[in-house]
Structure 1
Amino acid sequence: MHNKRYTCSLLMAAVLLAGCAGPGTLYQWDAYQPSVYQYYQVDNNNLDEQVAQLEESIEKARAKDRRVAPGLHAHLGLLYANSGREQQALEQFATEKRLFPESAVFMDFLLKQNKDTL
């Protein structure tokens, strides 16, 4: 009887501890959200710094074999476009469309609206 009670107690403890683990995140967010916030501040002259942060986030995600957050490639494309790197902007928009097909309509809209500058 004592052995049965001990086994049951261990099993309950294992179940409780397993429930505390919580779900992992689906995407690698890293510096994406702070970069977007920083972009919309009054002083957004540091585009190169923001680009470097997002490029580093993408590399970290690749190293961990994780997916980047939705919108990261689109935002990186926007930063590239604003800093005069049109080809890199187009590549990032295409990557966003490929990774997140639900963004295709919006990416096509952005490309159409900015076809003179890109």
Structure 2
Amino acid sequence: MHEPIARGLAALCLLATLAGCAGPKPLYSWNGYQPQVYAYLKNDGKQSPEDQIIELEKGVQLAAAKGAQVPPGYHAHLGLLYLNAGRTDQALAAWNQEKALFPESTKYIDFLIANMKKNRS
């Protein structure tokens, strides 16, 4: 009589353990963002801005495919790389995307845009 109860409890414990292993879904899809920022700041010449752009663009595509969001700063950094590569229209688009996703970045992004416009004239 007690054996079925013990089996039921064991099954319940196993189920609870497996459910606990799944963990919460991450808030953002990082997709190599941190190493790209580090490589940019380190500036060791191992990776060109174009190579970094390609990697970050892949990250945006991977996040979109997963239905995830890239972290704050991702589009801002991508915009900086676009600017360094002379692709100002893409830089503006990336920065505007950053502002749309993270309105708290508006002052910083507006600062970047103003500096870009000041340096172009």
The answer to whether the superposition gives a TM-score over 0.5 is yes
1:87 and 1:117, CA in 2 relative to 1: closer, same or farther beyond 3 A?
A: farther
Q: 2:78 aligns with which of 76, 79, 82?
A: 76
> For residues 87 and 117 of structure 1, what CA distance do their matches in structure 2 show?
15
Matched, 1:5 2:12: no
Say how many residue pairs are matched. Answer: 118
Moved runs in structure 1, 4+ residues, more than 3 A? none
User: Deviations for 1:46-82, whole angstroms, at most 9, x for unmatched residues?
Assistant: 0000011011111111112111121111000000111
TM-superposed deviation, 1:25: 1.2
> For residues 43 and 3 of structure 1, what CA distance do their matches in structure 2 show?
65
Given the two structures, how large is their TM-score scaled by the length of structure 1?
0.90
Matched, 1:53 2:60: no
Given the two structures, how large is their TM-score scaled by the length of structure 2?
0.88
Matched, 1:109 2:92: no
Q: CA RMSD in A?
A: 1.5
Look up the match of 1:67: 69
TM-superposed deviation, 1:38: 0.6
Equivalences for residues 20-35 of structure 1 within 5 A: 20-35=21-36
TM-superposed deviation, 1:115: 2.1
> For residues 19 and 52 of structure 1, what CA distance do their matches in structure 2 show?
36
Aligned-partner residue type, residue 64 of structure 1: K
Look up the match of 2:39: 38
> For residues 7 and 86 of structure 2, what CA distance do their matches in structure 1 show?
68
Runs of 5+ unmatched residues, structure 2: none
> For residues 64 and 38 of structure 2, what CA distance do their matches in structure 1 show?
23
Runs of 5+ unmatched residues, structure 1: none
Q: 1:85 aligns with which of 84, 87, 94?
A: 87
